[in-house]
Amino acid sequence: MHERGGRATHEHKAMSDFNEQLKKKSDAIKLRVTERRELRERIVAYMEYHPLPENLKTSATKRAAGSVQSAVVSEPFFTYRFGGRYLKSAAVLGMLLFVVGVPTLAERSLPGDVLYPMKVLVNEEVRSSLAFSPYAKVEWEATRLERRLSEARLLAQEGKLTEDVEREVAEAVKQHSDSAQETILALRETDSDGAALAEIAFASVLEAQADIMTLGEEQAKLADASSEVVSSTVLASAVREAHADALSAQRERPATPERLFALIERDTTYAQELLDAIEDGATEREAQNIARRLADISRKVSRAQELQSSLASLEEGIVEPAPVNAEATSSTEADALTATLAVEAAPSRDSVSAEVISILRVALTDTRKLISFMTDIEVRHTVDVEQLIPITLTDEERVAEVNSALERARGLRGEVEARVVPDEVATKVEFGLGELELAIARSTAALDANALTDAESAAAEAEALALDVRALVGESPLESVSETSTTTPATSTPTTTEPNSGVEGDATTTTNTTTTPVM
């Protein structure tokens, strides 16, 4: 009998069983996303208030002073392609995950990874450079500001937001905002890029909060409400003012995108983790809506990444006109910017850079709104995510929209052509139909050329024209004689109320439903 060996292997197996079982169960014990975030903030705050003595400050400030750019350029930054494949599976997965339920979610060890391949691309060092003061100090001010607003919303919900408290909160908002601006100003001395980044980050927080408040007010008015919403002007205007200050303080020279990418990566990862972890208070529809917006944001970011890498090839002297066809973003700034970019001309380095920044700004603000939406239950109660963050359609969706608009236009045209055109509107109708044809043709051509914005506007025009022409023809009776495009100025006995007064009495046509005999 090989007792020894047998027993050893048996024990070995038993031991690994035990270990496995135990590990499996213990792995499930960990910090919740919000707990982790808060704990981290507490620790960073502790570090803030107990800073390193001068002799120990190795490189945070030294490195920041101008050399971050050179540090980053030496590394191949965008070596990863954020393919559509990931995105689709991410979106689908995002929805499935919610349907499957919470217990499964809790057991996944790294919520961010599978769904957020973007994490891979960000330069580690750049990412961690965000972790520290004075940049973190600005973020901390922003966080505290958000917290006070959140508390105010809660109080308002409970009907306990007195004028005094409101004024206090407004005062706190101002204080945090001023403090942040001061820090940014000081930061400009040592790290102008960091200062620009901090400005963008802070402004985005304020913008998100301002939008939330505005939307909350609007929806309260619609609901004919109640003291449930922080509809007060004092607080809302404090936030808007702070936002205006933040915007006006921004310099012309934009921040370099690298750190902005890192910032967005960090925030979107957090947003994704939050989405995964939403256990209560989120309906399936809400979760899908949120997932959709996250996907929109990551599409924007990858668009920005594409532009950014096209910048690299521009720098190398290869004047490849980057496909900067006017992409629709939800910011008017971006629209204005892309409007000035001629599609034919090779875009200048600065303009591409500026577009990257503006896309990222929008993405950042949207992300902050989402985070606010998910972490602040009062926000969820007072605003609708659909209105807070409008959907950005994918290219496929846009094409589909254009096509259905054209379908509708064609349908209307068909209806027009099938009817008899009353005389007094004949010329208008003819003209209208002509324009309609042109618009449809323009739109189709634009679709082929992948100029989506042009296609969209042409399609919208076509639909509008079609509606107009259709309205002109009104309830005119249907033509039974099938003529292709010309409309016959025929007289006919009307079936319903008669707008037609010009009776020529030449031809008679039979109508489908005749009530009066033909004269």
Partner 1 sequence: MAAFDKPDNTGKDHEERFLKAFEEYGDALFRHAFLRISDRDRAIDVVHDTFAKVWSYVRAGHEVKNFRPFLYKVLNNLIIDEYRKAKEASLDALFEVDGVDEGSFQELQQDSVESLIANLDGRQALELVSELPDVYREVLILRFVDELGPKEMTELIEESENVISVRLHRGLKLLRSLIEEREADARARRKSHTRT
Q: Provide the binding-site residues for partner 1, judged by CB under 8 A.
A: 10-12, 14-15, 17-26, 29-31, 35-36, 39-40, 42-44, 46-47, 50-53, 55-60, 63, 71, 74-75, 124-125, 128-129, 131-132
Of 177, 205, 207, 182, nearest in space to 195 by CA: 182
Specify the residue, 87 or 277, whose C-beta has the smaller distance to partner 1: 277
Do 151 and 317 contact (CB within 8 A), yes or no?
no
Minimum CB distance to partner 1, residue 78 (Å): 16
Minimum CB distance to partner 1, residue 19 (Å): 7
Specify the residue, 125 or 168, whose C-beta has the smaller distance to partner 1: 125
In a 3-state reduction of DSSP, which class is residue 478? strand
In whole angstroms, give the CA distance from residue 5 to residue 7. 5
Specify the residue, 128 or 508, whose C-beta has the smaller distance to partner 1: 128
The single-letter DSSP state of residue 54 is G
Specify the residue, 11 or 424, whose C-beta has the smaller distance to partner 1: 11
Specify the residue, 132 or 490, whose C-beta has the smaller distance to partner 1: 132
Please state the separation of Cα 158 from the chain's center in Å: 31
Of 187, 204, 205, nearest in space to 196 by CA: 187
The single-letter DSSP state of residue 191 is -
Does a cis peptide bond (omega within 30 degrees of 0) precede residue 134?
yes
Minimum CB distance to partner 1, residue 68 (Å): 9
Minimum CB distance to partner 1, residue 189 (Å): 19
Minimum CB distance to partner 1, residue 53 (Å): 7
- Tokens 């992948």 identify what position? 450
Minimum CB distance to partner 1, residue 349 (Å): 24
Minimum CB distance to partner 1, residue 140 (Å): 14
Specify the residue, 270 or 373, whose C-beta has the smaller distance to partner 1: 270
In whole angstroms, give the CA distance from residue 155 to residue 165. 9
In whole angstroms, give the CA distance from residue 413 to residue 436. 8
Specify the residue, 30 or 285, whose C-beta has the smaller distance to partner 1: 30
Minimum CB distance to partner 1, residue 104 (Å): 18
Question: Exposure string (b/e) for 164-182, b if CB count within 10 Å is 16 or more?
Answer: eebeebbebbbebbebbbe
H helices of 249-394, in order, are: 257-277, 284-315, 332-340, 349-375, 377-382, 385-388
H helices of 418-451, in order, are: 423-448
In a 3-state reduction of DSSP, which class is residue 296? helix
Minimum CB distance to partner 1, residue 156 (Å): 27
Minimum CB distance to partner 1, residue 274 (Å): 17
Name the residue type at position 348.
S
Specify the residue, 86 or 135, whose C-beta has the smaller distance to partner 1: 135
Specify the residue, 128 or 427, whose C-beta has the smaller distance to partner 1: 128
Minimum CB distance to partner 1, residue 290 (Å): 25
Structure token pair of residue 431? 């003209």
Structure token pair of residue 287? 């979760």
In whole angstroms, give the CA distance from residue 201 to residue 91. 26
In a 3-state reduction of DSSP, which class is residue 260? helix
In whole angstroms, give the CA distance from residue 138 to residue 135. 5
Do 338 and 324 contact (CB within 8 A), yes or no?
yes
Specify the residue, 124 or 396, whose C-beta has the smaller distance to partner 1: 124
Specify the residue, 104 or 404, whose C-beta has the smaller distance to partner 1: 104
User: Residue 161 contacts by C-beta under 8 Å, 6 or more apart in sequence?
Assistant: 152, 155, 227, 230, 232
